[in-house]
Amino acid sequence: MKIFLDTANIAEIRRLNELGIVDGVTTNPSWVSKENRASREGKEGREGKGKTFKEIVQEICKEVKGPVSAEATATEASAMIKEAREISGWAKNVVVKLPTTAEGLKALKAVSEEGIKTNMTLVFSANQALLVGKLNATYVSPFIGRLYDAGYDGMQLIKDVVAIYRNYKFRTQILAASFREPREVAEAAIAGADVATIKPEFVDQMLKNPFTDAGLKAFLDSWATMAKK
Ligand code: E4P
């Protein structure tokens, strides 16, 4: 399963990219505006308006070789298509995120024919994912955590989408999103998701294990008692 980072924070992307486990990045308007705010407040030495959407996306695309999702914010198909064309020109590895609405599907059909890579976002039902798969989007993003937040079984959605896509041999990759707990990443992998997009701190939590730390300490303590020549 591929791991994407769900953030627009370039410092975190750089830090984790060094581990070699980052296959791509997903951003959304909330992550991008957070990054803009940070740069505006001078946290990265930027004053005034801070980094633009385009600058943020291009910086991430330079750091990460894999796909980087950037979200179109228009709500009407023709405006979305225009925006998708513009965003897709920012870097070779940009994927345009579109909302899973009727207007989003119209835009998906049009931009796919032009070879623009797409990530259909805000998917909360198997039926929405079925429609996205029929149109051969590059990625479909079912949101697990927001379903859990509302009292539904988020992981069941991943299982259902995997089953549907296998039945019909859809090529769209299943990009599980909106995780709440690190253990859900392994659950999504077991369910057969192609990608999990996770917050940077999840990588640290996935890696950290007290048994590993204790085991390493014991080995190093034994090693220290060995006679050296
Ligand atoms: C995915 O692409 C979204 O950016 C993200 O996973 C949303 O997660 P949230 O529900 O934690 O906002």
97 classed as catalytic: yes
Out of 43, 51, 54, 97, pick the active-site residue.
97
How many residues in total does the chain contain?
A: 229
Q: Which amino acid is at 205?
A: Q
* Shortest-distance Cα residue to atom 6 of ligand 1: 178
Residue 188 Cα distances to 180, 194, 212, angstroms: 12, 9, 24
| pLDDT one-digit tens code per residue, 79-106 | 999 999 999 999 999 999 999 999 999 9
Name the helix (H) or strand (E) containing 190. helix 183-191
Name the helix (H) or strand (E) containing 6. strand 2-6
* Averaged pLDDT of the chain: 96
| pLDDT one-digit tens code per residue, 214-225 | 999 999 999 999
Residue 177 Cβ inside 6 Å of ligand 1? The answer reads: yes
Q: Which of 19, 2, 65, 9 is nearest to 195 (CA)?
A: 2
Q: Tell me what pLDDT residue 165 has.
A: 98
| pLDDT level of residue 4 (50, 70, 90 thresholds) | very high
**Model confidence at 45: pLDDT above 60:** no
Residue 6 Cβ inside 6 Å of ligand 1? The answer reads: yes
Pocket test of ligand 1: the residue of 124, 143, 144, 185 to mutate, having most ligand atoms within 8 Å of its CB, is 143
Where do we find the tokens 């998917």?
123
Handedness of CA 129, 124, 99, 179 (dihedral sign): negative
Burial 95-114 (b: 16+ CB within 10 A, else e): bbbbbbbebbbbbbbbbbee
**Ligand 1 atom with minimal separation from the 146 CA:** 10
Report how far ligand 1's centroid is from the alpha carbon of 186 (Å).
Answer: 17
**Model confidence at 109: pLDDT above 60:** yes
Q: Tell me what pLDDT residue 47 has.
A: 61
Alpha helical stretches, state H, the chain:
10-17, 29-40, 53-63, 77-88, 102-113, 126-134, 144-149, 154-167, 183-191, 200-207, 210-224
User: Mean pLDDT throughout 164-174?
Assistant: 98
**Helices and strands (H and E) in the chain: how many:** 11, 8
Where do we find the tokens 């769209």?
172
Residue 39 Cβ inside 6 Å of ligand 1? The answer reads: no
| pLDDT one-digit tens code per residue, 57-71 | 999 999 999 999 999
Report how far ligand 1's centroid is from the alpha carbon of 51 (Å).
Answer: 21
Distance, in Å, from the CA atom of 122 to the CA atom of 169, rounded to the nearest integer, reads 22
Q: Tell me what pLDDT residue 44 has.
A: 59
Q: Which of 147, 154, 146, 141 is nearest to 196 (CA)?
A: 141
User: Mean pLDDT throughout 122-144?
Assistant: 98
Distance, in Å, from the CA atom of 136 to the CA atom of 143, rounded to the nearest integer, reads 19
SS3 at position 109: helix
User: Mean pLDDT throughout 156-179?
Assistant: 98
**Model confidence at 185: pLDDT above 80:** yes
